């Protein structure tokens, strides 16, 4: 009995030491982010790389020694890190101007859609606080691309406190924390730590307030509801997820295939409720700009660049979509003929292939993979969570360069594809991590070892 107590005491100390070290690093990053002189990209990458190394090495130590943490420990530090991020400012990103402006347009004109910010430069009915957002919006010639559910969240934040980035960051963090909570129902806390303490997640959502995490939270909750036999709730949640980000549509067939008509109707009704206020105003919604985005946008996509070189840009887009569709259908059929249709589908594979073939790969898109890489741990996913930050090495962040503003350094792209490629080879050789936890979430038993506090 004394031996167990000693082990628990050592583990409590290790979690406290690592958590405190990470908190100090995030405080430093928050202070730097608030510096009006700017945050140098290589300073960021150095701090981020060190933080990621600390988290992954600590996780490896816990795994190697089969030490289990309590969810309370993991969640406590996850909250601390995110609150520090909320106190900080967005790092190397300016997308938040658009979120705050969208809320201003919603309040002022009844809808954020169909209004290009550049049309408001000379005259508008916005408040002075909202006008300040106009100067920071990127691509001002385009109307907003953000889906209805996100717009409702932006509006809610604005109604509580207008043009308040801290509040919006806090709301986004609540969605992020809900992902951690659901993951605790599907995997041991030691694995949940990978997401809960992931530096990429903290940077992109607590610091930078990207809203993708809302769609992921809704999708994961929908999948958990479906797994728990709450089909109707799952259908509602996945429909709202689809109204948050188009990526979630990839999960929709798993909810509706072979289901009764009432569930199809429930999804259609939920989507209609989300879009109806804008359609009644005869406004173009996010889908209009999304279609333009799909035809022309290009960023940090090494695989797509190669296809575009061999073919043309437009043909490469068709080929990319076709390859994804074939891979998707192959897995979908394989899943349907299995005997475990209540299992959560391998969304890490689905979103992984989607991002690999996509002509646009922003760092925050990886959040669509990472929660599922907790349920099914892989080397490639967590390697990608580190090297994807190299996409911030763009012309805009380099003092002297021939690169365009949003052109990623070719060396950064090669490093990403090389590291992820090596990780995929390792996964193929190992097949799966040699850890004592079932790869099937429904077989997880949370009471496995004497936990850490």
pLDDT per position as a tens digit, 361-415: 999 999 999 999 999 999 999 999 999 999 999 998 998 888 988 899 999 999 9
User: Helix 231-242 crosses helix 261-279 at what angle (to 10 degrees)?
Assistant: 30
Token couple for 429: 């050789």
Cα distance from N-terminal residue to C-terminal residue, the chain: 17
What is the C-alpha to C-alpha distance for residues 397 and 387, in angstroms, rounded to an integer? 17
Average pLDDT over residues 287-300: 86
Asked if residue 355 has pLDDT above 90, the reply is yes
* Number of alpha helices (DSSP H) and beta strands (DSSP E) in the chain: 20, 0
Structural domains counted in the chain? 1
| 151 within a domain of the structure (yes/no) | no
**342: which residues sit within 8 A by CB, 6+ positions away?**
226, 227, 229, 442
By the 8 A CB rule, do 141 and 94 touch?
A: no
pLDDT above 90: percentage of residues in the chain: 77
- Report the length, in residues, of the chain: 453
SS3 state of residue 431:
coil
Quick count: other Cβ atoms within 10 Å of Cβ 179?
26
| 379 within a domain of the structure (yes/no) | yes
By the 8 A CB rule, do 381 and 398 touch?
A: no
By the 8 A CB rule, do 99 and 117 touch?
A: no
Of 436, 312, 426, nearest to 379 by C-alpha is 426
Average pLDDT over residues 316-326: 96
Asked if residue 242 has pLDDT above 70, the reply is yes
Higher pLDDT, 79 or 38: 79
| 144 within a domain of the structure (yes/no) | no
Phi, psi of 394 (to 5 degrees): -120, 165
Query: So what's the pLDDT on residue 26?
Result: 97
Phi, psi of 245 (to 5 degrees): -160, 135
Asked if residue 341 has pLDDT above 90, the reply is no
Of 166, 168, 173, 175, nearest to 103 by C-alpha is 168
Q: Poorest-confidence range of 1-5, 286-290, 334-338, 396-400?
A: 1-5
Query: So what's the pLDDT on residue 291?
Result: 83
What is the C-alpha to C-alpha distance for residues 310 and 316, in angstroms, rounded to an integer? 8
Average pLDDT over residues 417-444: 69
**412: which residues sit within 8 A by CB, 6+ positions away?**
390, 391, 393
By the 8 A CB rule, do 387 and 417 touch?
A: no
Confidence band for 68, pLDDT divided at 50, 70 and 90: confident
Range of the domain at 374: 2-95+164-443
**51: which residues sit within 8 A by CB, 6+ positions away?**
22, 25, 26, 199
- Mean pLDDT across the chain, nearest whole number? 90
Query: So what's the pLDDT on residue 432?
Result: 52
Token couple for 7: 């082990």
**434: which residues sit within 8 A by CB, 6+ positions away?**
none
What is the C-alpha to C-alpha distance for residues 300 and 362, in angstroms, rounded to an integer? 7
Query: So what's the pLDDT on residue 435?
Result: 40
User: Helix 165-184 crosses helix 96-109 at what angle (to 10 degrees)?
Assistant: 110
Of 212, 223, 227, 131, nearest to 175 by C-alpha is 212
Q: What is the largest CA-CA distance in the chain?
A: 75
| 126 within a domain of the structure (yes/no) | no
SS3 state of residue 299:
strand
Q: Is 343 left (phi over 0), alpha (psi -120 to 50) or beta?
A: beta
């Amino acid at each position: 009995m004394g031996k167990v107590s000693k082990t628990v005491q050592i583990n409590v100390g290790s979690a406290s030491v690592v958590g405190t070290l990470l908190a100090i690093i995030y405080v430093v990053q928050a202070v730097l982010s608030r510096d009006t002189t700017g945050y140098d990209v290589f300073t960021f990458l150095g701090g981020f790389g060190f933080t990621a190394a600390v988290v992954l090495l600590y996780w490896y130590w816990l795994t190697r020694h089969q030490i289990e943490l309590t969810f309370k420990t993991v969640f406590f530090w996850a909250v601390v890190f995110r609150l520090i991020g909320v106190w900080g400012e967005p790092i190397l990103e300016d997308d938040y101007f658009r979120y705050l402006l969208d809320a201003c347009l919603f309040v002022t004109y009844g809808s954020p859609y169909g209004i290009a910010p550049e049309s408001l430069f000379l005259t508008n009915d916005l408040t002075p606080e909202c006008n300040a957002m106009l100067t920071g919006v990127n691509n001002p010639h385009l109307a907003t691309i953000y889906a209805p559910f996100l717009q409702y969240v932006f509006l809610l934040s604005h109604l509580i406190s207008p043009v308040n980035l801290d509040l919006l960051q806090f709301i986004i963090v609540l969605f992020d924390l809900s992902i951690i909570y659901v993951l605790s129902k599907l995997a041991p806390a030691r694995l949940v730590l990978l997401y809960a303490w992931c530096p990429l997640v903290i940077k992109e959502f607590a610091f930078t307030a990207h809203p993708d995490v809302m769609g992921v939270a809704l999708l994961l909750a929908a999948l958990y509801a479906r797994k728990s036999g709450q089909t109707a709730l799952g259908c509602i949640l996945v429909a709202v997820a689809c109204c948050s980000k188009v990526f979630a549509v990839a999960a929709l067939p798993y909810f509706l295939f072979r289901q009764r008509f009432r569930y199809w109707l429930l999804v259609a009704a939920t989507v209609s409720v989300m879009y109806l206020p804008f359609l009644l105003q005869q406004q173009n919604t996010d889908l209009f700009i999304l279609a333009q985005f799909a035809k022309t946008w290009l960023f940090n996509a090494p695989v797509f660049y190669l296809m575009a070189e061999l073919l043309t840009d437009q043909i490469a887009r068709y080929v990319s979509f076709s390859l994804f569709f074939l891979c998707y259908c192959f897995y979908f059929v394989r899943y349907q003929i299995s005997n475990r249709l209540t299992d959560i589908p391998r969304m890490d594979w689905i979103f992984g292939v989607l991002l690999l073939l996509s002509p646009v790969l922003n760092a925050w898109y990886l959040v669509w993979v990472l929660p599922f890489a907790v349920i099914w741990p892989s080397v490639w996913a967590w390697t990608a969570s580190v090297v994807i930050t190299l996409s911030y090495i763009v012309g805009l962040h380099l003092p002297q360069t021939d690169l365009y503003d949003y052109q990623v350094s070719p060396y950064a792209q090669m490093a990403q594809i090389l590291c992820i490629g090596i990780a995929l080879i390792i996964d193929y050789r190992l097949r799966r991590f040699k850890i004592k936890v079932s790869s099937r979430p429904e077989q997880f038993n949370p009471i496995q070892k004497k936990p850490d506090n």
